[in-house]
């Protein structure tokens, strides 16, 4: 009787099965949302220059403040992909690219979670927590490749039979984003924690191949530039310490509780502290570091959900799989768009009011200007903190009215300013005789009286 009753149960869609769709819905909606990331925009133009020149960028081509200064674009391979997409489909390439990379990321997270938890429900919990934590970080800039590659590296490490792929994954990672060093640290720390010394040559090879990208030893320079730029990075909101009680950090705190529970159940041991402590410190140190810290801790978080049972069926029947496949394939077409920019995010109308003189603006506007009019129009600043590390503090002080603007404007030959209407510098400029030549509810363009 028990066996007979269990048979139909195995064909019902459980709560765990239903929850597996929720991250996919969120990823589709996020992928087709209007583009709001200014960093992504200048990456397209960087790819354009490199495709034409046939070589990677080694000096700044975009700003009148740092033009010609040494600068290595760490994401050259991603930038070439961006410009190829733009040339063929305009910004319409962005939603499918976003959906592809985020799908790889979350599929990998699901595989890791299931391998460690041995539970559909436990896997669903990890995916839901990952969705809440990661969704605000899923933007089209090259970090989207970094998340996917970190997850693939973790998947490869979880299955010893696939660890031979690690050098290839790290070569690609080093060509698309400087955070490959975090992945190398994860592999090294996991190797120590699990005492998998026979894989030490593979780990060493993974590190060495990162020196064989187009920049060669320049990848080391890229990493050092970010170390030197720590003070400048602190001025950017994404590099500040995360708010522990924020929505983004709630899954992180739940994850730590699950690791603690796994430790109580003796599934996590003292040797795992080699991984837990460094990545916990990293995640608590900067908002932008939260996603990679979370990815590194997913295998241990999943152990806290070992054999969790919620709902009925732990497996998919053929019919259930077909229903899920149809939902996954159809949903993107219901929300398809052309990858348009968010007009409320960027000063599209205000830029049309600019003349040819150097303009003072913020980093968000800088990224947009590079994409829309660069490199013909040179920018004052953008979000490349490693390049502007000696100027970011000056920019913030002038914009916020904490430092006289006249010396800076005179030194740089600035003849106009494009600012948010709420910024203190707007009133300082008006008091000095500058007049608005354009103004809407968000942005204003000012020039000296009579010009």
Alpha-carbon span 112 to 132, nearest angstrom: 18
Residues with Cβ < 8 Å from 278, sequence gap 6 or more? 185, 189
Which CA distances in Å does 273 have to 192, 262, 263, 266, 397?
10, 13, 11, 13, 42
Find all residues with CB under 8 Å of 321, minimum gap 6, and list them: none
341 neighbors 360 (Cβ within 8 angstroms): no
Look at strands 434-439 and 416-420 and give their pairing. Answer: unpaired
Distance, CA of 44 to chain centre: 16
Give CA–CA dist 409/419, Å, rounded: 14
- Dist. CA 290–CA 283, nearest whole Å: 4
Q: Report angle CA 277, 259, 292 to the nearest 5 degrees.
A: 55
CB 138 within 8 A of CB 318: no
Judge whether 272 and 301 are in contact, CB under 8 Å.
Answer: no
Digit-by-digit pLDDT tens for the chain (451 residues) are 344 444 444 455 566 666 777 888 888 888 888 888 889 999 999 999 999 999 999 999 999 999 999 999 989 999 999 999 999 999 999 999 999 999 999 999 999 999 999 888 899 999 999 999 999 899 999 999 999 999 999 999 999 999 999 999 999 999 999 999 999 999 999 999 999 999 999 999 999 999 999 999 888 888 888 777 777 666 666 777 888 888 888 999 999 999 999 999 999 999 999 999 999 999 998 888 999 999 999 999 999 998 777 654 555 566 666 766 676 667 666 666 667 888 888 999 999 999 999 999 999 999 999 999 999 999 999 989 889 988 888 999 999 999 999 999 999 999 999 999 999 999 999 999 999 999 999 999 999 986 5
Orientation angle between helical segments 120-134 and 21-31, nearest 10 degrees: 20
Assess contact for 444 and 436: CB atoms under 8 A. yes
Interatomic CA distance for residues 316 and 249, integer angstroms: 32
- How far apart CA 241 and CA 231 sit, in angstroms, is 13
Phi, psi of 328 (to 5 degrees): -70, -40
Determine the angle formed by the axes of helices 120-134 and 249-264, rounding to 10 degrees.
Answer: 150
Q: How far apart are CA 211 and CA 208, in angstroms?
A: 6
Specify burial of residue 318 (Cβ count, 10 A radius: 0-12, 13-18, 19+): exposed
DSSP state of 437: E
Rounded Cα distance between 402 and 427, Å, is: 13
CA of residue 76 relative to chain centroid, distance = 16
CA separation for the pair 240, 57 (Å, rounded): 29
DSSP bridge partners of 444: 419, 439
CB atoms closer than 10 angstroms to residue 25:
14
* pLDDT given at position 3: 43
Q: What pLDDT was estimated at residue 333?
A: 65
**pTM of the complete model:** 0.89
Nearest Cα neighbor of 79 from 37, 35, 40 is: 40
Write down the pLDDT at residue 207: 96
Which residues, other chains included, contact 13 with Cβ-Cβ below 8 Å and sequence gap of 6+? 313, 320, 323
| CA distance linking residue 37 with residue 136, whole number of Å | 11
Q: How far apart are the first and last CA of the chain?
A: 90
């Amino acid at each position: 009787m028990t066996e007979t009753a269990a048979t139909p149960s195995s064909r019902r869609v459980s709560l765990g099965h239903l929850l597996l769709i929720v991250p996919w819905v969120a990823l589709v909606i996020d992928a087709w949302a209007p583009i709001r990331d200014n960093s992504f925009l200048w990456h397209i133009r960087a790819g354009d220059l490199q495709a034409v020149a046939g070589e990677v960028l080694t000096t700044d081509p975009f700003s009148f403040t740092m033009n010609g200064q040494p600068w290595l674009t760490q994401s050259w391979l991603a930038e070439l992909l961006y410009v190829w997409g733009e040339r063929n489909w305009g910004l319409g390439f962005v939603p499918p690219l976003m959906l592809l990379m985020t799908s790889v990321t979350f599929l990998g997270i699901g595989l890791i979670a299931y391998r460690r938890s041995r539970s559909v429900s436990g896997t669903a919990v990890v995916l839901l927590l990952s969705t809440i934590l990661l969704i605000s970080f899923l933007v089209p800039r090259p970090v989207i490749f970094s998340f996917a590659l970190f997850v693939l590296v973790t998947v490869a490490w979880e299955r010893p039979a696939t660890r031979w792929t690690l050098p290839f994954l790290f070569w690609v990672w080093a060509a698309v984003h400087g955070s490959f060093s975090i992945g190398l640290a994860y592999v090294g720390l996991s190797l120590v924690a699990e005492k998998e010394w026979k894989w030490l040559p593979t780990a060493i090879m993974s590190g060495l191949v990162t020196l064989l990208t187009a920049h060669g030893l320049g990848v080391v320079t890229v990493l050092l530039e970010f170390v030197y730029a720590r003070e400048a990075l602190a001025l950017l909101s994404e590099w500040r310490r995360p708010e522990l009680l924020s929505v983004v950090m709630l899954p992180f705190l739940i994850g730590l509780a699950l690791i603690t529970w796994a430790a109580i159940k003796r599934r996590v041991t003292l040797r795992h502290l080699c991984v837990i402590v460094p990545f916990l410190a990293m995640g608590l140190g900067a908002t932008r570091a939260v996603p990679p810290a979370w990815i590194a801790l997913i295998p241990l978080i999943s152990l806290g959900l070992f054999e969790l049972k919620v709902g009925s069926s732990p497996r998919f029947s053929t019919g259930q799989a077909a229903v899920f496949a149809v939902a996954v394939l159809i949903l993107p077409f219901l929300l398809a768009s052309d990858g348009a920019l968010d007009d409320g995010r960027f000063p599209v109308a205000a830029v049309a009011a600019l003349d040819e003189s150097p303009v003072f603006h913020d980093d968000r506007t800088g990224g947009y200007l590079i994409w829309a009019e660069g490199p013909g129009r040179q920018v004052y600043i953008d979000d490349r903190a490693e390049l502007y590390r000696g100027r970011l503090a000056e920019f913030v002080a002038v914009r916020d009215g904490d430092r006289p603007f006249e010396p800076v404007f005179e030194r740089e030959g600035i003849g106009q300013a494009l600012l948010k209407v709420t910024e203190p510098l707007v009133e300082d400029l008006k008091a000095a005789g500058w007049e608005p030549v354009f103004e809407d509810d968000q942005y204003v363009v000012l020039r000296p009286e009579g010009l």
